Homo-oligomer: A and B are copies of this chain.
């Protein structure tokens, strides 16, 4: 069976995502990361939120981003997700933000998310092992892709 470790999503910077400096606001990179993570899980048949029988969700325990060059309104960006680490109860992703609408596409930002697998009981969340049906479909990317 094929296991997955990468996913690519494209989007265009929207007006509401800019700030008065004329740049995409730095907090929105984190929303781009999450929507890409979610599209990755959806592509495998899963969901970032607890639904039906498989009642796990994936709260963030760490988020980070390095900004190298700005993104502006209407810029087209490809967000490249890579699974950088798979542990029993957590997944670690990196995200490369590639600006496309330029002579030579280049990486404008590099992000990371660490997410923990939890089960919900009422208002409480308990860390739990990643369910086998998820774990069986996801693996860490080869090290050479993570640089």
**Interfacial residues, chain A to chain B (CB-CB below 8 A):** 14-16, 18-23, 25-28, 30-31, 34-35, 38, 42, 47-49, 57, 59-68, 70, 72-74, 123, 125
Contacts and interface: CB of A to CB of B under 8 A. Distances in A.
A45 B8 CA distance: 28
A-B interface, 9 closest residue pairs, ranked by CB to CB distance from nearest: A18-B20, A64-B64, A27-B30, A26-B60, A20-B22, A16-B31, A14-B35, A27-B27, A62-B66
A66 B61 contact: yes
Nearest to A16: B31
A89 B8 CA distance: 35
A49 B21 CA distance: 8
A66 B61 CA distance: 6
Given A27-B28, A27-B31, A61-B67, A18 B15 contact: no
A137 to B, nearest CB: 19
Given A20-B22, A47-B74, A15 B34 contact: yes
A21 B61 contact: no
B67 A62 contact: yes
Contacts of A125: 70
15 contacts: A14-B34, A15-B49, A16-B34, A18-B20, A20-B72, A21-B49, A21-B57, A21-B59, A22-B123, A26-B34, A27-B28, A27-B30, A47-B74, A59-B70, A60-B67
Contact of A15 (B14, B38, B70): B38
